[in-house]
């Protein structure tokens, strides 16, 4: 096993650990969504903070779990022929797709996300509609998403190159 393959394994383990931990956010998301109806219809009091908290957990769950989905090849694919390809052809598609499409997009995404997140943290930004504090935490998901997907894409490239080097 090469140093690059060990790096890919480390990245996989990191995204596995983070993905499993973030999966637990599904429970508070369900609780926050469930609380909306009784608070609004029965108690006739609508707590916007519960909605904001639910949105934050929901966004965090999906943005941070994206790298975990990529790690297990459970993300949405445009290529409908991928499953019928040989392992070598799949490696070419993964390599070309990641380097030519995903990496430039991640660089652009990160380029535009960083200033937004830094400004949000500097102001400790609140939710724009409700003024509930904590919107800066939601904004932080942008750079965490970019970093974790970027790391996982490195593991994908390492595995693709390794597969192409094998006979």
Q: pLDDT tens digits for 102-134?
A: 999 999 999 999 999 999 999 999 988 888 888
Q: Are 164 and 79 in contact (CB under 8 A)?
A: no
Model's pTM, two decimal places?
Answer: 0.88
What's the token pair of residue 66? Answer: 């994206």
**Res. 142 pLDDT band, cuts 50 70 90:** very high
Burial of 51 (0-12, 13-18, 19+ CB in 10 A): buried
Range of weakest confidence among 32-46, 88-102, 139-153? 32-46
The residue ranking higher by pLDDT, 79 or 145, is: 145
Q: What are the CA-CA distances from residue 75 to residues 3, 52, 124 (Å)?
A: 27, 27, 33
């Amino acid at each position: 096993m090469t140093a690059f393959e060990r790096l890919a394994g480390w990245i996989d383990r990191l995204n596995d650990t983070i993905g499993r931990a973030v999966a637990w956010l599904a429970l508070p998301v369900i609780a926050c969504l469930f609380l909306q109806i009784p608070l609004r219809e029965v108690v006739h009091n609508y707590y916007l903070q519960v909605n904001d908290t639910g949105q934050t957990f929901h966004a965090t769950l999906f943005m941070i779990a994206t790298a975990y989905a990529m790690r297990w090849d459970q993300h949405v694919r445009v290529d409908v022929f991928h499953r019928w390809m040989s392992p070598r052809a799949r490696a070419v598609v993964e390599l070309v797709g990641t380097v030519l499409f995903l990496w430039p997009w991640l660089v652009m995404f990160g380029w535009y996300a960083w200033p937004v997140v830094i400004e949000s943290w500097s102001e400790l930004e609140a939710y724009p509609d409700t003024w509930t504090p904590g919107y800066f935490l939601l904004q932080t998901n942008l750079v965490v998403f970019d970093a974790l997907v970027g790391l996982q894409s490195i593991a994908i490239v390492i595995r693709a190159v390794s597969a192409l080097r094998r006979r």
